[in-house]
Structure 1
Amino acid sequence: MVKPARLALPLLLLLSSTGLGASQDKSTPTPGVAATTSQPAPESKPAPYDGRLERLSEILGSVHYLRNLCLKDGEDTWRKAMENLISMEAGNEQARKERLTAAFNRGYRSFASVYATCTAQAVAAEEKYRNEGATLATEITARFGN
């Protein structure tokens, strides 16, 4: 298992980056993270920060949807960050990968069910979630990192 300090800094930098700025409608958002399959490995004991990590994954899915909804040119930054998080944190633990992927997709779908076009509320929600994610990444690193 990778120490959360290694993964939290890049996420913290992403989450604390500038907001959306001018919003634009985008009709076809990028889909969520697809679960990857690999050879089964023995499952290990859950990390004490797994609940927080799942919430962070959900936030990344939410931010991914909202940013792609509101930016004229979509971006894949948040989905790639989630793939890196899964790769670093879950390794070959299939159940853990599935939980993190499900959390990302849950966050993505929760906003997809509410917002079809970019609105002021969508921009505000993206900023709120990015701030929550930055706080959560900092807390995970401070409490469980080296």
Structure 2
Amino acid sequence: MFAQPARAQDFLQNLFGWGQQHSAPRVIERAPQQGKAKPKKKNAAKTPPGGKQQAQPNGAAQQPAAEGPPPPYEPQLLRLSEILGALSYLRDLCGSEDGEDWRAKMSSLLEAEAKTGQRRLKLTGAFNRGFRGYETTYRSCTPNARLAISRYLDEGGRIAHDIAYRYGNS
């Protein structure tokens, strides 16, 4: 039915470059700019006169630093995670038996992009949404399920290529 086998091994090659050797990132040294003062941090902790920090009321512990803003490619990563979830379910359903490979790719994506925190929860939720969406709809492999697999492989490949091309290290 399909002219090419599914590219489960190559799907995220653009993002992670599996099988390719990468050099260390380039270090760019910048000359100090003269005449410009460094901006002061607005939320810097100030030490009161006498050099001692005051205890926080009610023994409240300091909260960990908030995560930075999401990268500009966050929507694409969320869509890619959802596609990985759908492929994990559909490929097993249709007999490819490589659902674990798609889960492993999602684990690699999480390790590279969101080791902890809110981003990890968002990406994992997108994967689960993609998986469960097809799990509730398809109980056996149908021509439509195969078509969805083909389309998701193409879309996922385009997204991975786009992220690597636009935001990847050169």
How far does residue 42 in structure 1 lie from its aligned partner after superposition? 3.3
Tell whether 2:105 aligns with 1:88: no
Structure 1 residues 6 and 117: alpha-carbon distance in aligned structure 2, compared to 1, 3 A threshold: closer
Any conservation in 1 of the 2:15–2:161 contact (CA below 8 Å)? yes
TM normalised by structure 1 equals 0.70
Q: How many residues align?
A: 113
Any conservation in 1 of the 2:87–2:99 contact (CA below 8 Å)? no
**For structure 2, which runs of at least 5 residues remain unmatched after alignment?**
1-11, 19-63
2:130 counterpart residue number: 107
1:8 counterpart residue number: 15
Tell whether 2:74 aligns with 1:67: no
Runs of 4 or more, structure 1, over 3 Å off, are 72-75
Letter in 1 for 2:114: A
Tell whether 2:144 aligns with 1:137: no
What whole-Å deviation, never above 9, does each CA across 1:15-72 have from its counterpart, x for those lacking one?
Answer: xxxxxxxxxxxxxxxxxxxxxxxxx763121100001100000000011110011116
Question: What is the root-mean-square deviation of aligned Cα atoms in Å?
Answer: 2.2
Higher mean Cα deviation, 83-92 or 73-82?
73-82
How far does residue 74 in structure 1 lie from its aligned partner after superposition? 5.1
Structure label with greater radius of gyration: 2
Structure 1 residues 73 and 51: alpha-carbon distance in aligned structure 2, compared to 1, 3 A threshold: closer
Instruction: For 1:90 and 1:44, locate their aligned partners in 2 and report how far apart those are by CA, in whole Å.
Output: 12
* Percent identity of paired positions between Structure 1 and Structure 2: 42
2:70 counterpart residue number: 46
Structure 1 residues 83 and 41: alpha-carbon distance in aligned structure 2, compared to 1, 3 A threshold: farther
Secondary structure of residue in 2 paired with 1:45:
coil
Q: Which has the higher helix share?
A: 1
The higher relative CO (CA closer than 8 Å, separation ≥ 6) is in 1
Secondary structure of residue in 1 paired with 2:161:
helix
1:76 counterpart residue number: 100
Instruction: For 1:7 and 1:97, locate their aligned partners in 2 and report how far apart those are by CA, in whole Å.
Output: 21
